[in-house]
Amino acid sequence: MEPLPRGPGPACPLTCLLLLSLPGVGAQRSPTFQLQQPQDKVSAKAGETITLTCTTAGTGPAGPLKWLKGWGNENETIYDQNSPPTPHLTRAEPESNTDFSIHIRDVHPKDAGTYYCVKFRKTRTMDEVFRRGNGTEVSILAEPTRPVVSGPRHRAGPGQSVSVTCMAGGFFPKDIGVKWLKDKAPISAQQPQVTPGQTTSSYNVSSTVTVTLQKDDVRSQLVCEVQHRTLEAPLRETYQLSKALRVSPGIQVVTDPRSPVELNKTVNFSCHVRGFYPREVAVTWLENGTEMKVENTPQVTETRQGLFELQSLVKVQAMEEKNGSVFTCRVVHDGQEPVSRMATLQITAPAQGELNGLSQGENGSLFIIYVVVGVICTVLALLVAAILYLIRAKQSKGKSSPSARLHEPEKSSEATTQESDPNNLTYADLNFERERKTIRRMVELSQQSEYACIQSSPPPAGDDNLTYADLDMVHLSKAPRRPAPAPEEASSEYASVQIPRK
Ligand SMILES: *[C@@H]1O[C@H](CO)[C@@H](O)[C@H](O)[C@H]1NC(C)=O
Ligand SMILES: *[C@@H]1O[C@H](CO)[C@@H](O)[C@H](O)[C@H]1NC(C)=O
Ligand SMILES: *[C@@H]1O[C@H](CO)[C@@H](O)[C@H](O)[C@H]1NC(C)=O
Ligand SMILES: *[C@@H]1O[C@H](CO)[C@@H](O)[C@H](O)[C@H]1NC(C)=O
Ligand SMILES: *[C@@H]1O[C@H](CO)[C@@H](O)[C@H](O)[C@H]1NC(C)=O
377-387 residue pLDDT tens: 687 888 888 88
Nearest CA to ligand 4 atom 3: 264
CA 334 to centroid of chain Cα atoms: 13
Looking at residue 79, its pLDDT comes to 93
Q: What is the pTM of this model?
A: 0.56
Nearest CA among 477, 502, 270 for reference residue 405: 502
The closest-lying atom of ligand 5 relative to the alpha carbon of residue 347 is: 11
**Can you tell me the distance from the alpha carbon of 395 to that of 487, in angstroms, rounded to the nearest whole number?**
12
Looking at residue 416, its pLDDT comes to 39
Looking at residue 374, its pLDDT comes to 73
Looking at residue 180, its pLDDT comes to 97
Ligand 2 centroid–CA 171 distance in Å is: 30
Q: Is the CB of 324 under 6 A from ligand 5?
A: yes
**Can you tell me the distance from the alpha carbon of 155 to that of 274, in angstroms, rounded to the nearest whole number?**
19
Q: Is the CB of 152 under 6 A from ligand 4?
A: no
Looking at residue 362, its pLDDT comes to 46
Q: Is the CB of 123 under 6 A from ligand 4?
A: no
Q: What is the pLDDT of residues 378-429, one digit of tens each?
A: 878 888 888 888 888 777 654 444 433 334 334 344 433 344 444 443 333 3
Which ligand has the shortest distance to the CA of 167? Answer: 3
Nearest CA to ligand 1 atom 6: 134
Residue ranges in the chain whose pLDDT is less than 70: 1-31, 351-372, 377, 396-502
Q: Is the CB of 361 under 6 A from ligand 4?
A: no
Q: For 10-48, b where at least 16 C-beta lie within 10 A, e where not — what string?
A: eeeeebbebbeeeeeeebeebeebebbbebeebbbebee
Radius of gyration of the chain (CA): 53
Nearest CA among 142, 189, 183 for reference residue 163: 189
Looking at residue 371, its pLDDT comes to 65
Nearest CA among 182, 101, 96 for reference residue 136: 101
Q: Ligand 2: which of 65, 66, 73 to mutate, judged by most atoms within 8 Å of the beta carbon?
A: 73
Q: Which amino acid is at 72?
A: G
Q: Are 352 and 263 in contact (CB under 8 A)?
A: no
